[in-house]
A and B are shown apart, each in its own frame.
Chain A
Amino acid sequence: MTTAPSRAEILHDIIAKLSEQTGVSFSGAINEETRFFADLGLASIDAVVLTETLQKHYGRTLPFHELIAEVGRRTERDLAIGELVEFLAAHL
């Protein structure tokens, strides 16, 4: 039986996948307060691809649809990396 990854491990995975996806080294530049759009200059399509990649990495289907739709309903459309960590910690 495998144990669920810690928040630190999840953050590490997110940074690694984001670096692979964009070709930009984010090591040390991202923490849980970092905002996906405002701070990293990424777009919603980058978030869709990242969540799909994370799903594959963890080997299970996760309700990312709900998370991204929730972002879509926000007036200030953005996503803190910590929210993504929280989401994964709750579902893994």
Chain B
Amino acid sequence: MPKLVANGIDFHYQQSGAGPDVVLIHGVTGDLSIWFLSEAMGILGRSFRVTAFDLRGHGYSGLPKSGYTSFDQAGDCLAIMDALDIEHAMLLGHSFGAVIATHAAVLFPARVDAIVLSDPCFPALRHLEDVSRWGHWQNFRQEAALAGVTLSDEHWYDLGRFFDQVLHLDGERLLRFRQAVGLPGFHRLLRLAETTCGDDAKVPAGLTEDLIASVTQPALGIFGEHSPFLATSDYLATHLPNCIARTVAGAKHRAPEENAAEFVRIVNDFLVANSSAVPMVKAAR
């Protein structure tokens, strides 16, 4: 399988297509298969050279103990682009992957032509959201409770607490949780629970509200119609100078999976429109 070394870590990646570069970044606890299951690799690959990689600690990439902030992983993204001779690219990130994409756009503006942010929850914008009031929260909490894990209204965002619980499940609760998430999912969570990923994902790591609002590259905020993070969607559309927001019908937080066809169509339209606009945007800076 294709691997490269960046920042001293083995990264698994996959590529398809030819054309301007697009880099795909999945979310925490996920892996690059989301871009195959949603057909993003195939459909975007008709117009672009698409590169997807497994984040550190995920999928078939290496598992360092630390370095999971959006700052660290924006650095990974750029190091991977360097290793693959990708001079500049449009970035598409889902969930925390979108936070990483935004951080990369801030840190390395000359390398990032445009960003697509799929349902991000930025640590610095968390004050905008109250997921405990999200319509699906109680169901989500109930499902987790049935699986032996307690999610609190107050600490809904705290993956560190969640991982800690997973690490200390025993007996009946361990069995129930493993059945609920499946064996691969269970192993994935156990691996991450041994790292700083959960705690790292909840800190801004330098990506302040002001810096988020300073992103001038063309941006698409794409959210599920029933996303818990619609206040963030409004914020991005209002505060980023070149950001448009779109919703995906019927989807909650995982639009690339919950309505893949509409998600990929909206993303593809945005990327096609902005791939030709890239030189003009750069010239205008």
Contacts and interface: CB of A to CB of B under 8 A. Distances in A.
B33 A48 contact: yes
A44 interface: yes
B166 interface: no
A45 B42 contact: no
Interface string B32-59: 1100111101100100000000100001
Interface in B164-203: 182-185, 188
Given A45-B31, A49-B60, A72 B182 contact: no
B29 to A, nearest CB: 11
A25 to B, nearest CB: 18
A71 interface: yes
A52 B182 CA distance: 24
B39 A45 contact: no
A80 interface: no
B184 A48 contact: no
A49 B1 contact: yes
Contacts of B185: 43
A69 B39 contact: yes
A38 to B, nearest CB: 9
Interface string B16-39: 100000000000000111001111
Nearest to B188: A43
Nearest to B256: A72
Contact of B1 (A47, A52, A77): A52
Interface of A is mostly: helix
B260 interface: yes
A41 B39 contact: no
A53 interface: yes
B36 A43 contact: no
A90 B185 CA distance: 32
Given A48-B33, A65-B42, A72-B39, A41 B183 contact: yes
A68 B1 contact: no
Interface residues of A, number: 21
B257 interface: yes
Given A42-B184, A49-B1, A66-B42, A73 B36 contact: no
Contacts of B32: 45, 48
Interface in A33-75: 37, 41-49, 52-53, 65-66, 68-69, 71-73
Nearest to A73: B260
Contacts of B132: none
A62 B16 CA distance: 12
A9 B274 CA distance: 47
B1 A65 contact: no
Given A41-B184, A52-B14, A73-B260, A68 B60 contact: no
A44 B45 CA distance: 20
Given A45-B33, A48-B33, A65-B16, A72 B184 contact: no
A77 B59 CA distance: 18
Given A45-B31, A47-B33, 11 more contacts: A37-B184, A43-B188, A45-B33, A45-B59, A49-B1, A49-B12, A66-B42, A69-B42, A72-B37, A72-B260, A77-B37
Interface of B: 1-2, 12, 14, 16, 31-33, 36-39, 41-42, 45, 54, 59-60, 182-185, 188, 257, 260
Interface of A: 21, 37, 41-49, 52-53, 65-66, 68-69, 71-73, 77
